[in-house]
C-alpha cells in the first residue's frame, strides 16, 4: 500500500514510530530498558511454562519419551533460537538502525527481505531433518524407543516450522520499532494456546486421539501459526509504526540482515552443538543419565528465553542508538541489561543448585532413582555458573543491535572448545563418570561469561 492510497495510515504510522523511537534515543536508560523488557520477560516466563508443560506431558508418556525429548530438544531449540534470537535479533537490529537513521525506505525493504529469509530458513530446516533426522539421533546415542520418540516429534515439528519462522520474523520487525508490548502479548497468547493444545493432542484429552510425541509438536506448530496471523495483521495495519510500501528489493536489504544474522546464527549453532555434544557424551552413560541430563539441560535452555526477554529490548535500544551515532549511550544500555540478566538468571541457578528437586520432581517419580541422581548432579555442578552464561548471552543480544557479532561468535567457539575438550580430558584422566561431562559444561559457561565482557571492554564496538 502506498502513501497516496492511505495518507491517514501513513500519518498514524509516523506518529507511532516517533513515540516509540524517541525514548530509546533520549529516555533514561534504566527505566526505558525496564519498560521495554518487562513485557518480554513476562512472555518468556510463560513460554518457559510451555516448555515445562511439554516435559510433564512427555513424562506421562514414559521415561523413553523423556529420553527422546532430550534427543530432539536441542534441535527444536535451535529453530527457536535462530528464528527469534539470531535472525530475529538481526531483523530487529536492522529495523532499529534504519529507524534511528530515519531511513524509512530502507525499513520497508528490510521487512520484505526478512520474510523471504524466514521462508528459506524454514525450508532448509525441513529438508535437513527430513533427510538426516534418524542419523542425527543415532549419532547422539539414541536408539530404540528413545530414537523413535524423537523421530515422532521431529516428523511433525520440522515440516511445520514455517509457522515458527513467520511468527518470530514478524514479531522481530515489530520489536525493532519499539513495539515490545504487542510482540510480548502475541507470544503470551501463543504459549497459552500451545500448553493445553499440546497436552490434548499428545495425551488424547476428551475425544481427541492420543498422538503421543507428534501431538506435542503439533500443539507448538498450530499455536505459532495463530501468532503469525495476529502479528501480520497488526503490522500490515500500520499500528506498529511501519507501513509496507512498494519496495524494489535490493541486495543490501538482505545483507543488512544477513551480515549480523549469519554470524549470530553460527553462534546459536555453536550453542546447540555444545549441548548436542554433551548429549552424546551423557548418552553413553545410559538412558536414565540421558533423561536426567535432559531435564537439567531443559532448564538451562529456559534461561535463554529469560535473557532474551531483556536482550530483545537491548537489541532495539542499542540498534537505535548506534543508528543515531550515540555509541556511548549504546554501551551503557549493554552493561545495564547484562547485569540485570546476570542477577535474575544467577539467582535461579543458585536456587536449583541448592534444591534441585524443586525442578526434577515435577517430571520424575521417586522410583526413577537413577535419572534423579543424574539430574541432581547436573544442577549441583552446573547451575551455580548460570549467571556467567547470562552475562555473555545478554551482551550477545546487545552486540546484535550494534551489528558487531565477531567477538560473541568467538566466545561461543571458546565455550564449546572448553566444554568438549574438558569432557574428553576429564573422562580419560578421572573416574568421575557422567560428572566429568557436567564439570566441563560448567567450565565452558564460566569462560564464556568472562570472554565476551572482556572483549567489549577492549573493543567498545570499534
The runs of H, that is alpha helices, within 4-28 are 7-26
Tell me the pTM: 0.77
For 1-19, how does the pLDDT look when each residue is reduced to its tens digit (9 = 90+)? 444 445 566 566 666 666 7
**Reduced to 3 states, what is the DSSP secondary structure of residue 182?**
helix
| Other Cβ atoms within 10 Å of 250 Cβ, number | 12
Distances (CA, A) of 30 to 37, 52, 333: 10, 31, 8
Q: Which three cell numbers stand for residue 301?
A: 535452555
19 inside domain? no
Q: pLDDT value at position 10?
A: 59
Q: Which span out of 96-100, 101-105, 242-246, 353-357 was modeled with the highest average pLDDT? A: 353-357
3-state secondary structure of 399: helix
**3-state SS assignment for residue 352:** helix
pLDDT one-digit tens code per residue, 404-423: 888 998 998 999 899 889 98
- The pLDDT of residue 296 is above 70: yes
Is 17 within a domain? no
Domain that holds residue 344: 27-459
Inside any domain, residue 20? no
pLDDT at 445 over 70: yes
The verdict on residue 4 lying in a domain is: no
Q: What is the pLDDT, as a whole number, of residue 240?
A: 76
As to burial, measured by CB atoms within 10 angstroms (0-12 exposed, 13-18 middle, 19+ buried), residue 247 is: middle
Please state, in angstroms and rounded to a whole number, the distance separating the CA atoms of residues 453 and 462: 14
**Domain count for the chain:** 1
Q: Give the model's pLDDT for residue 150.
A: 92
What the block records as the C-alpha cell of 5 is: 492510497
Q: Domain for residue 384, yes or no? A: yes
Distance CA(109)–CA(250), nearest Å, equals 8
Rounded distance between C-alpha atoms, residue 285 and residue 146, angstroms: 14
> Do the domain assignments include residue 77?
yes
SS3 content of the chain, % helix, strand, coil (to 5): 85, 0, 15
Residue from 285, 423, 402, 271 nearest 335 by CA: 402
Listed in sequence order, the residues at least 6 apart from 442 whose beta carbon sits closer than 8 Å to its beta carbon are 381, 382, 384, 385
182 within some domain: yes
Tell me the residue ranges of DSSP E strands in 144-289: none
> Does a structural domain hold residue 38?
yes
Amino acid at each position: 500500500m502506498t502513501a497516496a492510497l492511505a495518507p491517514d495510515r501513513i500519518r498514524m504510522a509516523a506518529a507511532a514510530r516517533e513515540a516509540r523511537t524517541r525514548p530509546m534515543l533520549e529516555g533514561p536508560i534504566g527505566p526505558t530498558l525496564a519498560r521495554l523488557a518487562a513485557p518480554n520477560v513476562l512472555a518468556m516466563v510463560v513460554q518457559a511454562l510451555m516448555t515445562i508443560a511439554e516435559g510433564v506431558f512427555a513424562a506421562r508418556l514414559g521415561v523413553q519419551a523423556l529420553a527422546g525429548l532430550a534427543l530432539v530438544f536441542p534441535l527444536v531449540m535451535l529453530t527457536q533460537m535462530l528464528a527469534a534470537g539470531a535472525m530475529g535479533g538481526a531483523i530487529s537490529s536492522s529495523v532499529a538502525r534504519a529507524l534511528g537513521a530515519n531511513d524509512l525506505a530502507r525499513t520497508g525493504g528490510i521487512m520484505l527481505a526478512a520474510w523471504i529469509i524466514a521462508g528459506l530458513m524454514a525450508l532448509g530446516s525441513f529438508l535437513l531433518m527430513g533427510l538426516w533426522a534418524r542419523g542425527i539421533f543415532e549419532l547422539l546415542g539414541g536408539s530404540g524407543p528413545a530414537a523413535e520418540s524423537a523421530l515422532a516429534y521431529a516428523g511433525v515439528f520440522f515440516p511445520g516450522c514455517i509457522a515458527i519462522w513467520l511468527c518470530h520474523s514478524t514479531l522481530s520487525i515489530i520489536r525493532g520499532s519499539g513495539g515490545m508490548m504487542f510482540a510480548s502479548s502475541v507470544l503470551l497468547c501463543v504459549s497459552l494456546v500451545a500448553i493445553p493444545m499440546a497436552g490434548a493432542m499428545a495425551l488424547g484429552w476428551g475425544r481427541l486421539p492420543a498422538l503421543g510425541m507428534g501431538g506435542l509438536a503439533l500443539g507448538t506448530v498450530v499455536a505459532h501459526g495463530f501468532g503469525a496471523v495476529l502479528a501480520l495483521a497488526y503490522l500490515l495495519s500500520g499500528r506498529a509504526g511501519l507501513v509496507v510500501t512498494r519496495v524494489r528489493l535490493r541486495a543490501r536489504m538482505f545483507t543488512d540482515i544477513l551480515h549480523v544474522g549469519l554470524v549470530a546464527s553460527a553462534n546459536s549453532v555453536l550453542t546447540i552443538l555444545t549441548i548436542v555434544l554433551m548429549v552424546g557424551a551423557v548418552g553413553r552413560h545410559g538412558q536414565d543419565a540421558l533423561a536426567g541430563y535432559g531435564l537439567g539441560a531443559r532448564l538451562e535452555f529456559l534461561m535463554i528465553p529469560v535473557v532474551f526477554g531483556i536482550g530483545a529490548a537491548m537489541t532495539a535500544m542499542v540498534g537505535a542508538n548506534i543508528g543515531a551515532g550515540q555509541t556511548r549511550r549504546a554501551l551503557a544500555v549493554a552493561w545495564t541489561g547484562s547485569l540485570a540478566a546476570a542477577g535474575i538468571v544467577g539467582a535461579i541457578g543458585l536456587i536449583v543448585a541448592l534444591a534441585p528437586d524443586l525442578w526434577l520432581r515435577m517430571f520424575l517419580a521417586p522410583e526413577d532413582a537413577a535419572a534423579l541422581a543424574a539430574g541432581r548432579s547436573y544442577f549441583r555442578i552446573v547451575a551455580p555458573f548460570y549467571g556467567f552464561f547470562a552475562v555473555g548471552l545478554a551482551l550477545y543480544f546487545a552486540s546484535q543491535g550494534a551489528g558487531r557479532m565477531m567477538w560473541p561468535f568467538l566466545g561461543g567457539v571458546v565455550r564449546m572448545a572448553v566444554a568438549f575438550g574438558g569432557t574428553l580430558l576429564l573422562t580419560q584422566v578421572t573416574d568421575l563418570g557422567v560428572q566429568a561431562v557436567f564439570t566441563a559444561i560448567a567450565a565452558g559457561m564460566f569462560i564464556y561469561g568472562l570472554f565476551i565482557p572482556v572483549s567489549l571492554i577492549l573493543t567498545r564496538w570499534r
